[in-house]
Amino acid sequence: MNFVDFHIHAGRFSLLRDDIQGLLTKFPFEEGVDVREIFSNPLALKAYLQERGVARAVILAECGPGTNFSIDSQLILDFCGSDPFFVPFGNINPLHHADPLQEWHKDFERGIKGYKFYPADHGFDPYLDSMMAVYEMCAEVGQPVMFHTGLTAQRDTEQKFIRPGDFRRLVETFPRLKVIFAHGGKPTWYDEALEMACRYPGVYLDTALVPPEVLVDWLHERPAVHSKVLFGSDLPVCGSYSAVCQKILGAGFDHELLQAVLSGNADQVLAG
């Protein structure tokens, strides 16, 4: 069964802040796998993922303090190149980019397919007028946007704008916008994330670092949610990719539901 992974980080390992380097190397990988190599080398990352059944991978930019502002949209575009295996998602940080809307237009022209935003990690209010203008454009052209939800592991963060409910006004303001709650509000607000996915047609949840028992709870006897959950690993934070795959494949879901979560739902979201 093929996977579409909606949550992978990549860039240049040597440019990361020390605590982020530690986060990416905290959990063990398969024997012989060098996390620094698969993080920094697109050919190595593609080979590693394809060997484990991945058909497409969303690669996320993060232009913030933890990456020393090194992993911007352009770096991710360069990393992905013209290979359709990779789907480049950009990042706009209103504390770093002087004109977020102008940055969006540049990204759109260059081929960015969606975004991940980090209000908690980057310390900004997601309801800034400049960012609301960006969300409006994303909704207009069909670009999905992802927000980190749940407690953040980055140091010196205020743990603000981390609950799924913090984005309720945003999804109500832009009902056509596809909004993905990365991590589903881990580890405290899984129910809140689920409630919003049930209530709002444009809200999706990714599985990155979400325990299998939570996925079972989300999906058990809730057919309306079956099209709202996207497989994501949070590689390389998650450690061994084989272990991540084994957990979701062993969660007891039937073939049709697995197909939806592992690839079908992502294909529909990325189709615009």
φ, ψ for residue 240 (rounded to 5)? -50, 120
Residue count of the chain, please give it: 272
Q: Which domains occur in the chain, in start order?
A: 3-270 (3.20.20.140)
User: Which neighbouring-strand residues pair with 109?
Assistant: none
Q: What is the pLDDT of residues 77-114, one digit of tens each?
A: 999 999 999 999 999 999 999 999 999 999 999 999 99
pTM over 0.85? The answer is yes
Q: What is the pLDDT of residues 106-156, one digit of tens each?
A: 999 999 999 999 999 999 999 999 999 999 999 999 999 999 999 887 777
Three-class SS state of 225: helix
**H helical segments located in 25-96:** 35-40, 42-50, 73-80
Contacts of 168 (CB under 8 A, 6+ apart): 196
User: Which neighbouring-strand residues pair with 145?
Assistant: 115, 179
What stretches of the chain adopt beta strand conformation (E)?
3-9, 54-60, 86-90, 114-117, 145-148, 179-182, 203-206, 229-230
Contact 119, 130 (CB under 8 A): no
